[in-house]
Amino acid sequence: QDQLQQKIICPGPVTCLTASPNGLYILVGVAESIYLWEVSNGNLLAILNRHYQDLTCLCFTDDSSHFLSGAKDCLALVWNLYSVLQAEPSQIPDPRHVWSRHSLPITDLCCGFGGPLARAATASLDQTAKLWEISSGELLLSVLFDVGIMAVTLDLSEYHMFCGGMDGSIFQVDLCAWPVQRDRTFQTERENGKVFKGHRNQVTCLSVSTDGSLLLSGSHDETVRLWDIQSKQCLKTMNHKGPVTNAFIVLAPANMFNPDGKPSVPLPKFSKHLHGTESNDEQGSEGVTLRLGLHQQECGESYLEKAERMYSQMHSTREKNLVGDQEHLTIQVSELEEEVSTLRKINKNLFDFSARIITKPAK
């Protein structure tokens, strides 16, 4: 029996959790707050409080540049990860988009492929599923059903959107149907060939295989079902001892069937306080930490500020009469030359460090 590798205590009951596709960050929803942790060292980088009620779902774009959050306050927010990391701990960054077209709590989110140019789907208890464009924030499609929607997902080619209802039905919506309509009504009696029937209770999760032929669904009826999308037939039913809350299809890791396979790097303990606000930062002596955010402890002049000051001095000097001020100009030139030398040294050290990491043989 596998041993629990790490037990991480969170600030409260976790309602939703997701990891960035690049494996660098973890997002957790606790009550109405979003917690952002860095996986490599366990630092808590941000706490976002822009929702008014409990979080229900979180998801990243495929390039990890943005993430989406949905809550019981009927809002779906789009966040730029870089802006969140750049913000100081005392400030709460603004989301890139605020989607407020739902009238009841958001139940699920799904993001397609394309990074910041991707499309995202939202599901709600208001019996609608909506399709949005992340780059512009524009609403592309709204589909009205006769039951509340608890789960939503897109196939890889984004030809279809699958929606799981509270009555156990799963609806297939054609995104390329003609004529194109921004507002549509899914009438079950007219579209029997586009409904998966088998679950006896609300559908909580949906996932499509990479080849677009299989659909996986989990339900509160304590079963997980595997469907053939083309024929709408249930291929397999897996029974559980309680309501299924989450299930998804993933590609098998390379060492999945290796009995001796273990994680090469242990997961660190996640910090309970925002990074940079701890009374005593216990930083290890080994390893190098690279950050995008403003995590500098000292308040001294940065390299960019110093370079900008010298550049402005150089321009002001050019505009003045240089007669009798040759000595001052010489001092400024020597400072600039020293700064260029320092920057070249830093650049060389960064290059050497990157080269060693890239060329380091795999263990």
225 φ/ψ sector (left φ>0, alpha ψ -120 to 50, else beta): beta
Q: How far apart are CA 256 and CA 337, in angstroms?
A: 55
Q: How far apart are CA 251 and CA 143, in angstroms?
A: 31
Cα–chain-centroid distance for residue 168?
A: 28
Q: How far apart are CA 339 and CA 342, in angstroms?
A: 5
Q: Locate tokens 């939503």: which residue?
A: 152
For the chain, where are the alpha helices, taking DSSP H only?
A: 81-86, 303-319, 326-359
Percentage helix, strand, coil, to 5, in the chain? 15, 30, 50
- Phi and psi at residue 115, in whole multiples of 5°? 60, -130
pLDDT at 304: 66
CB-based contact 31:7 (threshold 8 Å): no
The tokens for 281 are 């930062």
The tokens for 159 are 């030809």
- pTM here? 0.73
Q: How far apart are CA 70 and CA 98, in angstroms?
A: 10
- Give the tens place of pLDDT for each residue, 66-118: 999 999 999 999 999 999 998 877 777 899 999 999 999 999 999 999 999 99
Is the omega angle on the peptide bond into residue 13 within 30 degrees of 0, that is, cis? no
Q: Which residues contact 229 (CB under 8 A, 6 or more apart)?
A: 155, 160, 172, 208, 212, 213, 214, 215
pLDDT at 139: 95
CB-based contact 121:161 (threshold 8 Å): yes
Tell me, what DSSP letter sits at residue 307?
H
- What one-character-per-residue DSSP string does 211-223 give? TSSEEEEEETTSE
CB-based contact 132:152 (threshold 8 Å): no
Per-residue burial over 12-38, b if 16 or more Cβ lie within 10 Å, else e, is: eeebbbbbbeeeebbbbbbebbbbbbb
Cα radius of gyration (the chain): 26
Tell me, what DSSP letter sits at residue 267?
P
Tell me the three state secondary structure of residue 106.
strand
Q: Which domains does the chain have, with CATH numbers?
A: 8-100 (2.40.128.630), 103-251 (2.130.10.10)
| Low-confidence residues of the chain: pLDDT under 50 | 1, 279-288, 294-298, 323
CA distances to 11, 85, 198 from 30, rounded to whole Å, are 7, 19, 33
Q: How far apart are CA 131 and CA 20, in angstroms?
A: 22
CB-based contact 290:40 (threshold 8 Å): no
